[in-house]
Structure 1
Amino acid sequence: MATFLSSLQKIFLYFILVLIGLYAGMLFNHKICPVETQLNPIEYAKYWKIVDGTFMHERMAIMGPGMGIIFAITILLFLKNWRSLTFLFLVLACIAFAIDINFTLREQLPINAFINDLDLNNMTEVQTKQLIAFQAKAISNFDTRFIHSSISFLLLCLSPFFLNRLHKKSN
């Protein structure tokens, strides 16, 4: 039974590591290829309507909660080892991820909704000014989210280094 639990722990730990790695990588792409900074506000809104409207919104609505569930299952699998460094890094990584999700829901989703609701052919002066402000805020948001996701990923990367010690103790 201990071998089965150990195998299950490893599977879920590496699975969440891959998922968070992909997520952090997506945000890293925004950092190294900041397309949004090179576009005027109208071009940015057109671009973001495509990115969020056809890719991000649908997939992140599934991927975010999915990663949260995998994190929760993984933490529960390691609960017996709550005093281990693996557990500590896992929980801290989950906290960084939760901070990022909260930040995204609070700061980025209202911007996405505003842009997706815009009629780019009939914008008012007020909407144009708001779009300019939101473009700058969205770029800043991605920088912040990159930090959150990187912290989560780096903490998860540390956790497997202590698995062998953890499993030797429990046997």
Structure 2
Amino acid sequence: MGIAIFCLILGFIIGYLFRDSRKETNAPNTKARPNTRNVYLSYNERQRAKLQHYSDADRIRELNLLSPNESKFMRLLQHQFQHELLIIKDRRFYIADQDRYPIAIFEYRDGSKELKVQDVEDGIPVFIYKAILSSDAIAEDYLFMKNNNSARK
């Protein structure tokens, strides 16, 4: 029994020393995302970059990170904005037109008291919801967006 324990300890020591003595191989770069960014993006390119995912895995990961209430909110948005694209990135819901240009941003935050706030970010309306509101509140925002878009044209 003593010899087995001695061999086991000796094996761990030799393995540890062997691991440190071997040459390191050139490991492939494990970073999936490039860190370089073009600083000189135009306004339109910056807006489209808000909606782009690096890969489908990132897009699916964003969907899996949604809480149950955020998923319900997403379904309310999908029901209201049937003719636009709904893109989820950084826990924000972007409503985009057919050219994948953002026309509105929705945010959902969990809470016990209902709250709805409207703001503007880079010329795009941002609607922040706290707690689940009825679909009537989203329908009001939809009409507000349609009226603003028709006024711009």
Under TM normalisation by the shorter chain, which class is it? Answer: under 0.3
Question: Structure 2 length normalisation: TM-score?
Answer: 0.24
Q: Compare CA radii of gyration and give the structure with the larger one.
A: 2
TM-score, length of structure 1 as denominator length: 0.22
Instruction: Give the number of the structure whose residues are more often helix, by fraction.
Output: 1
- Higher relative contact order, structure no. (Cα contacts within 8 Å, ≥ 6 residues apart): 1
